[in-house]
Amino acid sequence: MTRIAVVRGGRSLERKYSLLSGHHVASALRHIGHDVTEVDVDEQLTRSLEASDVAFIALHGRDGEDGTVQLICEALELTYTGSAPRTCHLCFDKGFAKGALDAAGIPTAPGFVLSAEAVRRMGAGAALRRAAQRVGHPLVVKPAAQGSALGLVVAQRPEDLSAAVMEALNYGDRVLLEAFVDGRELSVGVAGPDLRPLTPVEIRTASGVFDIIARESPGAVDLICPAPLTPDELERVHRIAVDAARTLGVRDFARVDMRIGAAGPVVLDVKTCPGLSETSIVPLAVAESHVSFDDFVGDIVEAALWRSASAGV
């Protein structure tokens, strides 16, 4: 019986979602016979990890998606699920990820990043306005390193820009301004040793924006799986999702968020630790693939153990 520490909760503002993910994962791992302990991020974390054979990292936001807990596992030589610290770090900051994807020729929405420090100390407010003018409105303004759409605002007009930037910078030190892609919102999970794409899920909201208000309002979000796509579209979004995940060095599983506009799909975000709760996107796609969630998380643990064994750890 493998002793698994499911790390969930944490200090980030996405704590609520992580608790739900962690509970779902822990239940699944118990169903298939593992000895599971659910642990939080506190001063006892390292001790809890030391008492385990594997860490299943179900943390969203900082500590879990920025590579912090993964680095602890590496230092302990403890097997853990998901991507390595470098990939976590890269994906956690949408600006860095966008740069890597652009360099690999993977389509992303045009945008740019500025730091709060530049705005405060270097007069970069003016640069923000010029760049926003170049990209045009409506403009998506969001923290570069934050999940669950926290701090995401669509600035419809130039006069909305300052308030939107203020809001985004309340959730991180860097702000990403990105062209709003008018179209459909889509998420594609990837999983397994060869990062095979799962069935795409389309996200529909009344406002057209999958923001925190929509996430928190009962019944305000429809997740459609499989997303209604032509065979060509399906092939394209699958290819882009896999290419994006491979480019960034994703391991085990991830979720690639996209929008499909007039010019085709563009990647918005790659989540190395996506939501895994009963109502999250990836579990929905897993169910559509006729794989039980128990087996899905069980396979992730097996892959992590195999990787450790292969590496001689």
Partner 1 sequence: MPTDDRFARTATDRYRDLYALRAAGMSGSEIRALFSVLERPEVISLAGGNTDTDIVAHRIPDCVAAVLAGPRATGADNPLGYGMSDGVPVLRERLTELMALQGIEAAPHQVLPTDGAQQALELIGKIFCDPDDLVLTEAPTYVGALQAFQSYQVEIRAVPTDGEGLIPEALVETLAQLAGEGRRAKFIYLVPTFANPSGITLSAERRPEILEICARNDLLVVEDDPYAYVRFEGEDVPALRSLVDEGIIYLGTLSKVFSPGMRVGWVLAPEPVRERLLLAKEAADLCSSPFTQMVAATYLGSGHVEEDLQMVRKVYRERRDAMADALDAYFPRAAQTRLPEGGLFLWVTLPSSLDTKAMLGRALEQGIAYVPGTAFYPRKADGLHAMRLNFSYPTLDEIDEGMRRLGAVVNDELELARSLEV
Q: Which residues bind partner 1 (CB under 8 A)?
A: 11-13, 15-17, 19, 42, 116, 119-120, 123-126, 128, 148, 150-151, 162-163, 165-167, 169-171, 201-202, 212-213, 215-230, 233, 279, 281, 284, 287-288
Minimum distance between the CB of residue 27 and partner 1, rounded to whole angstroms?
18
Say which residue the tokens 């599971």 belong to: 36
The answer to whether 186 and 226 have CB atoms below 8 angstroms apart is no
Please state the closest distance from residue 30 (CB atom) to partner 1, in A. 23
Instruction: In angstroms, give the least distance from the CB of 280 to partner 1.
Output: 8
Token pair for residue 14? 């996405």
Q: How far is the CB of 180 from partner 1 (least distance, A)?
A: 19
Q: What is the dihedral of CA 78, 83, 85, 90, to 10 degrees?
A: -170
Locus of tokens 């807990």: 69
Residue 216: CB minimum distance to partner 1, A: 3
**Nearer Cβ to partner 1 (245/281):** 281
Q: How many CB atoms lie within 10 A of CB 169?
A: 20
Nearer to partner 1 (CB atom), residue 12 or residue 70:
12
DSSP-assigned beta bridge partners for residue 114: 175
Q: Which of 263, 264, 262, 261 is nearest to 240 (CA)?
A: 264
Q: Which is nearer to partner 1, 201 or 248 (CB)?
A: 201
Cβ(21)–Cβ(281) below 8 Å = no
DSSP string, 124-182: THHHHHHHHHHH-SSEEEEESS--TTTT-EEE-SGGGHHHHHHHHHTT-SEEEEEE---
Nearer to partner 1 among residue 71 and residue 223 (C-beta): 223
Nearer to partner 1, 103 or 262 (CB): 262
Shortest distance (Å) from residue 260 CB to partner 1: 11
β-bridge pairing 139-143 and 79-80:
unpaired
Nearer to partner 1, 37 or 115 (CB): 115
Residue 30 and residue 242: Cα distance in Å, rounded?
A: 30
Closer residue to partner 1 (CB): 127 or 135? 127
CB of residue 185 vs partner 1: minimum separation in angstroms?
Answer: 14
